[in-house]
Amino acid sequence: MITSKILSAIMPGAGRRADTFLVPLTDAMTRFDIDTPARAAAFLAQVAHESGQLVYVKEIWGPTGSQRRYEGRADLGNTQAGDGKRFMGRGLIQITGRRNYLLCGRGLGLDLVTMPELLEQPMAAAASAGWYWQSNNLNRFADSGDFKALSIAINGRNKATGLPNGWDDRLKYWARAKVALGVAA
């Protein structure tokens, strides 16, 4: 369904990473039922935003104030000292927190709690994005064309504006993905 040309059209800043991630993304999309042009456009747009056009498979660590708050967050399963940094966002949709690493690892058959860095490898990075997509039933948003709700489900909303975090950037990638994949506007 996708080619490196399509990936490059959606993510022009990806460069050679479009070739590197073509097979991993194709495999993940097949495995996790991201199997229509509308689903693929929504998925690839979210991946483009979350990974900075396939550049980042690991969260840039400051630590920022938000990142400092990962430590001790029971909702993320970060119950042991150091979990906040150890289980920072990784993969193409940035899996975050001990609990999510555990669940994702089970879903992918990988020991991500012991080896969280596996999510920095192309196959696991793409598979984790597909796993997250399917585990959170995100095809329902892609199927209905509700890109705003999809974006909120992935990365919340800006408290001041109520819009999804990174909204303008996500919309830019979604527009490119719809054109590249022939999805009606």
Q: Which residues are catalytic?
A: 50
Total count of residues recorded for the chain: 185
Taking the C-alpha atoms of residue 137 and residue 160, their distance in angstroms, rounded to an integer, is 27
* C-alpha span between 101 and 23 (Å, rounded): 23
B/e letters for 7-20, b = 16+ CB within 10 Å, e = fewer, are: bbbbbeebeebbee
